Amino acid sequence: AEELLRQSEKLSVVGQLAAGIAHEIRNPLTSLVGFLQLIRSAPPQKRLEYADIMLAELNRINGIVNEFMLISKPQSSKIEVKNISDIISNVVSLLQPQALLHNVEIQFESIEDTVYRVKGDEGQLKQVFINLLKNSLEAMPTGGKIDIVLQRLGKRRISIRLKDNGVGVAEELLPRLGDPFFTTKEEGTGLGLMVCCRIIEAHQGSIRIQSKVGEGTAIEIELPCVL
């Protein structure tokens, strides 16, 4: 039943997204056609500028298609009991090179000296932390710090708090985070947080975002844990 539920949930996301995808791709395509026409008669110094804009539009289309394929790929979800600390450490090591490159320090600590076991799909849970850490890295163009804290919340629940000191999000935009295609980035897809929310929901968890412009962003995830 769990698997069926998961599949139908996935199907509805894919269906919902398909219409949006067509729409989202049409805009950059229209702009590409426009700039291609312009570039034919543009002076040489303008051509470079147009080429850069076109490249950004193409990267955006590429990003949307890639994320869509990730979401719609019929991956067999494997439900296992896993140590959540291992999953997070794994993702942190995976993104360490990128963090170094961006001058960002990632710190991960578990408050209690206990193993927290979570029932779920390891690949999907990893995807959540990859998406969140990538957002934090992108929010800190001149470097900074990301703190991840794992902690117990009552008997059967844990909290994972991920805090960065990046650019933050304006208060009026907070409610739109996680909406499909909502992005403030030139080459963003606006699908990362939506995927995170879907995955955490499917794991009977919750996700909350707090943010302040110029100070940073904190994301708190709650998940059930098994004894």
Binding site for ligand ADP (CB under 6 A): 131, 135-136, 139, 164, 166-169, 177, 182-185, 188-194, 217
Q: Which helix or strand (DSSP H or E) is residue 197 part of?
A: helix 192-202
Q: Which is nearer to ligand ADP, 24 or 225 (CB)?
A: 24
150 touches which of Mg ion, ligand ADP, none (CB within 5 to 8 A by kind)? none
CB of 132 to ligand ADP, least distance (A): 7
190 touches which of ligand ADP, Mg ion, none (CB within 5 to 8 A by kind)? ligand ADP
Count how many Cα atoms sit within 13 Å of the Cα of residue 144 in the half-sphere of its side chain. 21
The residue number whose beta carbon is nearest to Mg ion equals 192
Q: Which helix or strand (DSSP H or E) is residue 219 part of?
A: strand 216-224
Q: Which is nearer to Mg ion, 135 or 211 (CB)?
A: 135
Q: Which is nearer to ligand ADP, 166 or 225 (CB)?
A: 166
Residue given tokens 């606006």 in the structure block = 190
CB of 131 to Mg ion, least distance (A): 6
Q: Which is nearer to ligand ADP, 82 or 164 (CB)?
A: 164
Q: Which is nearer to ligand ADP, 34 or 143 (CB)?
A: 143
| 102 closest CA partner among 164, 49, 160, 163 | 164
Q: Which is nearer to Mg ion, 59 or 204 (CB)?
A: 59
CB of 185 to ligand ADP, least distance (A): 4
Alpha-carbon dihedral sign for residues 13, 15, 20, 25: positive
Q: Which residue type occupies 41?
A: S
205 touches which of Mg ion, ligand ADP, none (CB within 5 to 8 A by kind)? none
CB of 221 to ligand ADP, least distance (A): 13
CB of 87 to ligand ADP, least distance (A): 19
**What distance in Å separates the CA atoms of residue 8 and residue 11, rounded to the nearest whole number?**
5
124 touches which of Mg ion, ligand ADP, none (CB within 5 to 8 A by kind)? none
Contact set for Mg ion, span 129-168 (CB under 5 A): 135
Q: Which residue type occupies 170?
A: A
Is 198:13 a contact under the CB 8 Å cutoff? yes
**Long-range Cβ contacts of 17-26 (<8 Å, 24+ apart):** 17/68, 17/71, 17/72, 17/180, 17/191, 20/180, 20/181, 21/64, 21/65, 21/68, 24/64, 24/181, 25/61, 25/64, 25/65
Kindly list the residues in this chain that would bind Mg ion in the complex (CB under 5 A): 135, 192
